[in-house]
Each structure stands twice: as C-alpha cells, then as structure tokens.
Amino acid sequence: MTSFIAEHFEPVRLHVRKHPEAMGRFGANWTPTVLIVDAEGKEHHRIEGFLPVDDFLAQLKLGYAQHAFKTGDFASAEKRFRDVIDEFPKSDVAAEALYWAGVSKYKGTGDAGALKETATAFQSRYKESAWAKKSSIWAA
Amino acid sequence: MDIQWTDDVDAAMASARQSKKPLLLDFTAAPM
C-alpha cells in the first residue's frame, strides 16, 4: 500500500479542521474521503468511507486505472484494470474493472470485438453484478 | 518507501504537471 501510493501518486493529506476550504473545493462532505485527481484538479476517482486494507488497495488501483482511461492512455488503462482483476478477483471492484478493461481495449484499438469478448467473459464471472448487466448489450 | 504527504494542494498540482502522476487527496478527521 505505502509503496504503491509513494510510487504512483502525488500524495496530499488534508485535515478537515485545518483545511475546510479544500473540502469545499473538491466537494468532499465526509471523512474519510480519498480522491484521485489530475494536475488540473479534475476528479477521476472517489472513495468515500472506511475500507479494510485490501479493499482500499483494490479501489486505489481501480482509480489509478481510471486515471489512465480518463487521460486517454487506453493501453495502460486496460493493463491496470486487468491487474485489479488478477490481484483482487473477489473484491467488490473486480467486476467494474472487467467492464472497463473491455471498454479500454475497444477505445484503444477500435475493435468492437473487445466488447463482445467482455460480455462473454461476464457469462462466467461476476454474472450477478450490475456490470454484467451493463455489458449484456454487447453480447448480441 | 515512505509516503511524503503534503498539505499544499497547489504545490502538489504543480508537481503533478512535472511528474505526470495523479494527485491522491486524503481528507481525514483523524488526529495528525
């Protein structure tokens, strides 16, 4: 956890009593809240509320993948989303990562087959998830 | 590897432009 944060982020810790203006600036209304934002302050991922360490790390890695996706680096995004699935296959975010891995591949390559592959993958994994429902449109 | 936390958002944003890394903003009410 520590090394992942130190290696991949510019880390900022803000106490609500000392920095109430930052709470307003970024729309944080509760603690703990963790945001992943770009250098212009645009939000790419939000984690609200306490999570156990492994769940938090899975969320962080999902957010790191979302950052790549939202900055148009679709190849890196796909790899990072698939890393989340591989490292945290039973986490709450694994299904979401599978969905966005497929979208990243499609946006990076233009190959619509990536979406169909993703829908097919959801038939054997995470098939009760909301993300499986969202991908079902690609199965036809 | 330790995490070098800062509470200067704008300085961190300037660093992010150079490093190409995203910012991680941790809003906390825990004693610091």
C-alpha dihedral sign at A84, A85, A90, A91: positive
Domain boundaries, chain A: 2-138
Record the tokens describing residue B15, joined without a space: 């660093």
Statement: residue A58 has pLDDT above 90? yes
Distance CA A45, CA A70 (A): 10
Which residue among A7, A10, A33 sits closest to B16, beta carbon to beta carbon? A10
Residue A33 pLDDT greater than 90, yes or no: yes
pLDDT-derived band at A14 (thresholds 50, 70, 90) equals very high
The values of phi and psi at residue A101, to 5°, are -60, -45
Please check the confidence at residue A120 and state whether its pLDDT lies above 80: yes
Taking residues B18-22, what's their average pLDDT? 96
Integer CA distances (angstroms), A136 to A3, A80, A95, A122, in order: 37, 23, 13, 8
pLDDT number for residue A54 = 94
The superfamily (CATH) of domain A2-138 is: Tetratricopeptide repeat domain (1.25.40.10)
Place of tokens 């660093």: B15
Q: What is the pLDDT of residues A82-92, one digit of tens each?
A: 999 999 999 99
Asked whether the predicted pLDDT for residue B31 surpasses 90, the reply is no
Least CB-CB distance to B13: which of A17, A35, A39? Answer: A39
A73: left (phi over 0), alpha (psi -120 to 50) or beta: beta
- For position A29, what pLDDT does the model report? 92
What's the alpha-carbon Rg for chain A, to the nearest Å?
A: 16
Residues A3-23: what's their mean pLDDT? 95
Q: How far is A83 from chain B (nearest CA, A)?
A: 18
Which residues of B sit within 8 Å Cβ distance of A? 1-9, 12-17, 19, 21-30, 32
Element (H or E) spanning A115, and its range? helix A113-121
The gap between the terminal CA atoms of chain A, to the nearest Å, is 40
Chain A interface with B: residues with Cβ < 8 Å: 2-3, 5-19, 22-23, 25-26, 28, 31-41, 44, 60, 64, 67
Tell me the average pLDDT across A30-39.
97
Using 50, 70 and 90 to split pLDDT, how confident is the model at B30?
Answer: confident
pLDDT at A64: 98
**Which among A43, A38, A58, A2 has a CA at the least distance from the CA of B4?**
A2
Q: CA nearest A95: which of A103, A84, A104?
A: A84
Mutation test of the interface with chain B: which of A2, A13, A23, choosing the one with the most B Cβ atoms within 10 A? A13
Task: Tell me if A7 and B1 make a contact (CB, 8 A cut-off).
Answer: yes
Q: What is the pLDDT of residues A66-83, one digit of tens each?
A: 999 999 999 999 999 999
Band the pLDDT of B1: cuts 50, 70, 90: confident
Whether residue B22 and residue A67 make contact (CB cut-off 8 A), yes or no, is: yes
Average pLDDT over residues B4-23: 96
